[in-house]
Structures are given as structure tokens and as C-alpha cells.
Amino acid sequence: MGTYKSISVSELLGNDRIVDDSLLVDIRSEIAYKHGYIPNAVSLPEPVEPEILLEIMKEHAKEKVIIYCSIGERSKTVVRELCENGIDAYNLTGGYHEWLLMKTGELCMDEKIQYARQMVLPELGETGQERLKKARVLVIGAGALGSIALTYLAAAGVGTIGIAEGDIIERSNLHRQILFDTDNVGNKKVYEAKSRLEKMNTFIHIEDYDTYVTPGNINDIIKNYDFVIDATDNIETKFLINDACVINKIPFCHAGVVAFEGQVMTWVPGEAPCYRCVFEDIPDGYIPNCAQAGIIGAMAGMIGCIQALEAIKYIASVGELLVGKIYHINGLNMQTRIIRVPRKNISCKVCGRKPVITNVSDNSVMYGRRNCMT
């Protein structure tokens, strides 16, 4: 059989770096091509002659080639043969059919079976499920909150999920970061999380960012997402995520967990107050994080679930978000409160009347450098 390289439709649609460097080649019949093709693809019906392909690649100044057929099967064989001829070729998994489905958000039969119990909900239905498929959600931090939020986003069928996380797995993480197990200790969280989630749901695509978010990289990481989940546990990063999302007008869900308490708040562009409207500035002095203050895994689990639910509600346009509200729960006595924050803080540095923070990369000093994720 031999091995072959492949690329998913999500990667293609997400403008992965490979795509920019590659020539897209349609190997279906000329008639099929005439009826419709992936934009920028050239038609080269089978049998594909390596010499002719190399000529076309040269013409387009491309060093790699992405091959697709109708469903991604015949193209596998072609890609193997091209690789044997020294051509840097990739197979487009699922082919033109998968591209059509992904482009329109249409669901295949297996997806309809997989999501049947949630699609039956009148609030969601097939339309809501298609919206989830087309959606792109970024989770910053693959720790305790991230493990849970990612799991439920993936299971629900969010089509493209980004994970930004620079940390490695330690044994002391395992009591709360339930995406990982003992065998994963010492490995990168982002890759273990990606591999676990891809096994859980083969219909979704995971984009990995093996890095902590910083004032220098956050704008680039968040820019292509519809919704961001802040699953970090240090105060500086929370302000950074808030400011970057507010400036870039990307909705996000903030959460924090310490010991037996948790809180959640969602922001959407418009008149909603942001995290900085409420908490104003990074406090001076000692702010304990999970490593110092302690944390119960089940609390992070509850809060991570709420974050996933906020993302799903936002994408499917159902229910009421925690916008202008802070949800708070004390797990020791199970008391919950919703604290209403009806309007913006006019002196908020990022969304008030006279914002002084207009680009996070200009203010890198104020976000510090602590990196612990929950």
C-alpha cells in the first residue's frame, strides 16, 4: 500500500500554509470539472503523467501539489505514484464531495446519525448542526477548562477547533486535565489533545498552535475564528485575551476557577461590557493561580462545560448568553448567582469612551509573562 500524505478540506478552506505553496489539481473527468470544481484547481484528468504535471507546476511556480478526485479514493493511488516519482503530492481527503459538504455545511448520513440526539432539539435542528459544522472556535489553554470545553465542542460537531497551548503534560495535571493520561506525561498538551479529539470525532478538523498566546501572536491566532474560549488561569492572559478579542471584535467566553468557585462571562461585539469593564486592571501584587491556590477538577469541569455551551448557543443563535452577566457558582454549597453588569464602564481602557488600548502588541509590557494554564 505504501504511505501517502493528505490534507483535509478544513485545512484547505482554512488557508493552511501548504495550500499557498501548492497547485490544486482536479483529476476527475473533464465533464465533471465543467460542472463544478474547487476554485483555483486545474483540470488534469487521469491518467496523470508526472512529466506533464511537473510542467504545469513549473508554470504556476508551485513546488507541491494537492490532488483531488470525487471522494478521495482514486486520488490516493495517484498521490502514491507521484510521490514515488519524487513529486511532493498530497491527497485531499474526501475529495470534491467532502469539499462541497464542508463549503455548504451540509451533513453526510453518518454525521446525521452521530448528531441525531441533538439535532432532534427544535432549538438546534439540521440548520443549527450545519452552523456548528461551518463554525471555527478557538480554545486558548488545553488544561482543566480546556479539556472539558474542547471535548464537548468536538463531540457536538464544531467543524474547526483551534487549540493554542504551549505547555507539556505533568503528572500533577492529571487530576483535572482529563484529556490526558499517565502515558502522555512529558508530551505536548496541544498534540495529545488534538489526537484525542480527532479520534473522538472524525468529522472535525483541529488546528494546533504549539505556543502560549502573547501580545505579539494573539492577533494572528484569533483572527480567523468565530468564537474564542478563554481557558487559561492567569490574570495577565485573561486581560490579554479580553483586549485582543474586543479590539478585533471576536466574541469570547471568559471563565475562572479557583478552589471550589467558578465564574463565567461572555462578550459579544456591540454594547456589552467586557472583562476589563468589570475588573478594570491587572491587580498589583500576588494573585494565586491554580498551582498555588488549589483547584478541584470537577469544578473546572462544570465551568468548562458552560463555556462550551456558550459557544454552541452563540453559533446556533439559540438561548441567552452570559452577556452583561457574570455567572458565579460556589461548589461547596452549590449556591449560584448571576451578577448583572448592565452596561459598559465608560472609563474602560479598551472599550470605554476614550480607549487607550487599541492594539495589544503595542502594550506588551502590561500583560506580564506568566503562563500557567488551568
Q: How far apart are CA 350 and CA 367, in angstroms?
A: 14
316 near Zn ion, judged by CB under 5 A: no
Nearer to Zn ion among residue 77 and residue 363 (C-beta): 363
Contact flags string 85-114 toward Zn ion, x per CB under 5 A? ------------------------------
User: What minimum distance in Å lies between the beta carbon of 67 and Zn ion?
Assistant: 49
> Is the bond preceding residue 47 a cis peptide, omega within 30 degrees?
yes
Nearest of 70, 91, 311, 105 to residue 203 by alpha carbon: 105
Q: Please name the residues in contact with 27: beta carbons below 8 A apart, sequence gap of 6 or more.
A: 44, 45, 46, 48, 67, 68, 69, 74, 75, 78
User: What minimum distance in Å lies between the beta carbon of 277 and Zn ion?
Assistant: 3
User: What minimum distance in Å lies between the beta carbon of 184 and Zn ion?
Assistant: 38
Phi, psi angle pair for 337, to nearest 5°: -140, 150
Nearer to Zn ion among residue 131 and residue 276 (C-beta): 276
Q: Which of the ranges 25-33, 113-121, 189-197, 266-274 carries the binding residues for Zn ion, by CB under 5 A? A: 266-274
Asked if residues 372 and 174 have their Cβ atoms less than 8 Å apart, the reply is no
Nearer to Zn ion among residue 69 and residue 277 (C-beta): 277
3-class secondary structure, 33? helix
222 near Zn ion, judged by CB under 5 A: no
Nearer to Zn ion among residue 39 and residue 270 (C-beta): 270
Give the distance between the most distant pair of CA atoms in the chain: 72
User: What minimum distance in Å lies between the beta carbon of 227 and Zn ion?
Assistant: 18
Cell of 117: 440526539
Q: Of residues 348, 357, 360, 373, which one binds Zn ion by CB under 5 A?
A: 348
With CB under 5 A, what is the number of residues at the site for Zn ion? 5
Cell of 72: 478521495
Asked if residues 162 and 217 have their Cβ atoms less than 8 Å apart, the reply is no
Nearer to Zn ion among residue 175 and residue 343 (C-beta): 343
Q: Of residues 274, 296, 315, 322, which one binds Zn ion by CB under 5 A?
A: 274
Long-range pairs of 51-55 with CB within 8 A, sequence gap ≥ 24: 53/25, 53/82, 53/87, 54/87
What single-letter amino acid sits at 246? V
193 near Zn ion, judged by CB under 5 A: no
360 near Zn ion, judged by CB under 5 A: no
Nearer to Zn ion among residue 143 and residue 273 (C-beta): 273
Nearer to Zn ion among residue 100 and residue 278 (C-beta): 278
241 near Zn ion, judged by CB under 5 A: no
145 near Zn ion, judged by CB under 5 A: no
351 near Zn ion, judged by CB under 5 A: yes
Question: Which residue of this chain has its Cβ atom nearest to Zn ion in the complex?
Answer: 348
User: What minimum distance in Å lies between the beta carbon of 19 and Zn ion?
Assistant: 37
Cell of 83: 510521490
Nearer to Zn ion among residue 141 and residue 273 (C-beta): 273
Asked if residues 6 and 82 have their Cβ atoms less than 8 Å apart, the reply is no
Query: Which stretch of DSSP H or E encloses residue 89?
Result: strand 88-92
User: What minimum distance in Å lies between the beta carbon of 242 and Zn ion?
Assistant: 8
User: What minimum distance in Å lies between the beta carbon of 276 and Zn ion?
Assistant: 5
3-class secondary structure, 260? coil
Distances (CA, A) of 275 to 88, 175, 272, 351, 361: 47, 29, 10, 10, 19
User: What minimum distance in Å lies between the beta carbon of 348 and Zn ion?
Assistant: 3
User: What minimum distance in Å lies between the beta carbon of 359 and Zn ion?
Assistant: 16
124 near Zn ion, judged by CB under 5 A: no
Asked if residues 323 and 171 have their Cβ atoms less than 8 Å apart, the reply is no
Contact flags string 275-294 toward Zn ion, x per CB under 5 A? -xx-----------------
Q: By CB under 5 A, name the binding residues for Zn ion.
A: 274, 276-277, 348, 351
